[in-house]
Chains A and B, each alone.
Chain A
């Protein structure tokens, strides 16, 4: 199974700053089968990005995804107060689908 390692574990930022989250796969992810989710405590996880770089319905354009092979990045331009949360990456190119351990983005 493909192991996804997210870094950093915690990212401390101020509103208005850019967030850059990384996800490294233990082996190459097939095609563009990569997604990102946002999760706030007590809430349902929310799909942000699929197909490496496609934004899900209703996701603001300050969220963008990029990458290929084993290295993927989620960028949030100009963090808004509602963006502070935990973010998870997911690969679905090789079964079983797997998720990363998460990056917590907290207010500095």
Chain B
């Protein structure tokens, strides 16, 4: 089955760290560029980060730049998001999302996971 499954969410104090994982299956993960998208409670979707197939080109939203680090392990079909210096406003469900295009981004997403909840609170 073609799917993405996120894990690693939980409750963390402000200033703390968390590492999210996304396990891909059913497709050739190494040929797709990937993204992280989040949704804060009661809010819309917000793009967070992009990584190309070789981890050469990486982008972040201004709201997480300098605090979050995206990475991938193509041998293990996995995508990661290391989140440091977490803030209350980072509380959200985090989704990994596959870009429609292979190798190069199309910037719309044809496969999403169900998400993992990150709660930043003291």
A interface, CB within 8 angstroms of B = 33, 35, 37, 42-47, 50, 56-57, 88, 90, 92, 95-102
Set B37, B45, B61, B110: member contacting A47, Cβ < 8 A: B110
B47 near A45 with CB under 8 A, answer no
- 5 nearest A-B pairs in the assembled complex, by CB-CB distance: A92-B107, A99-B45, A101-B44, A44-B112, A35-B108
Set A37, A43, A92: member contacting B114, Cβ < 8 A: A43
B108 near A88 with CB under 8 A, answer no
Bin chain B's interface residue count.
20 to 34
Chain B interface mostly helix, strand, loop or mixed? Answer: strand
Q: List the A side residues contacting B62 at CB < 8 Å.
A: 96
Q: How far is the CA of A56 from the CA of B112 in the complex (A)?
A: 14
B113 near A50 with CB under 8 A, answer no
A44 near B44 with CB under 8 A, answer no
Q: How far is the CA of A50 from the CA of B110 in the complex (A)?
A: 10
In the complex, whether B95 has a CB less than 8 A from a CB of chain A is yes
Residue of B whose beta carbon sits closest to that of A49: B108
30 contacts between A and B (CB under 8 A): A33-B107, A35-B108, A37-B45, A43-B114, A44-B4, A44-B95, A44-B112, A44-B113, A44-B115, A45-B95, A45-B97, A45-B109, A45-B112, A46-B112, A47-B109, A50-B100, A50-B106, A56-B110, A88-B44, A88-B45, A92-B106, A92-B107, A92-B108, A96-B47, A97-B47, A99-B44, A99-B46, A99-B47, A100-B44, A102-B44
